[in-house]
Every structure is written in structure tokens, then in C-alpha cells.
Amino acid sequence: MTIFWVATLGTSLVAFLLKYSGHSVPERWLSNPKIQRINALIPIALLSALVAVQTFSEKSELMIDQRLVGLSVAVVALLLKAPFPVVVLSAALSSAAVYNWL
């Protein structure tokens, strides 16, 4: 058995134990309003971090390029309450236009 398989099995075991421990938490802990507010914000924070990393980095370097334009156009479209397909298309088109222009 190679180190790759040991790491894969070990990671799978840790993931299973984490999931199992999450199901073992008492209901009264999860009904706490503070915990519910925190749980509602966790996906927002994770998605924001993912967008920031994907927009401003390439490999391990900070990059400012056409992706910033696309993100900015998407934010403006969201503030104008545009439908989701319009947000995605406007961001993609503006990013592609700046990429081809540079």
C-alpha cells in the first residue's frame, strides 16, 4: 500500500468521523439563535473567500487583471437587481473584452 492510499483512507476516515460527530450534536445546541445566525453566515463567508482567491490570485501571486473587471460588472449588475443570467453574461463578456483588449 503506497502513501497515497494511506493518505486517502486516512482522509476518508477523518471526513466520516467529522460528519458522524456533526450528527451526534444535541438538538438543543443547534436551536440556539446565536448558532443559527453563525450557520447562516458560514456559506456566505466561504463563497466570498473563494471568489476573492479566484479573482485576485494566480498560483501564489497577487494578480489584478480582467477578472477584477468581470467581478466589478457582476457586482454592479447585482446592485441593479439584474436577473442571474444577465449578471453572469455581463461579467463574462466584460472580462473577455478586457482580456482581448489587453
Domain ranges of the chain: 1-31
pLDDT digits (tens, 9 = 90+) for 34-57: 999 999 999 999 999 999 999 999
Tell me what pLDDT residue 9 has. 96
Which triple of cell numbers denotes residue 90?
Answer: 455581463
Contacts for 43 with CB less than 8 Å, ≥ 6 apart: none
User: In this predicted model, what pLDDT tens digit does every residue of 6-21 receive, in sequence order?
Assistant: 999 999 999 999 999 9
- Other residues' Cβ atoms within 10 Å of the Cβ of residue 4: 8
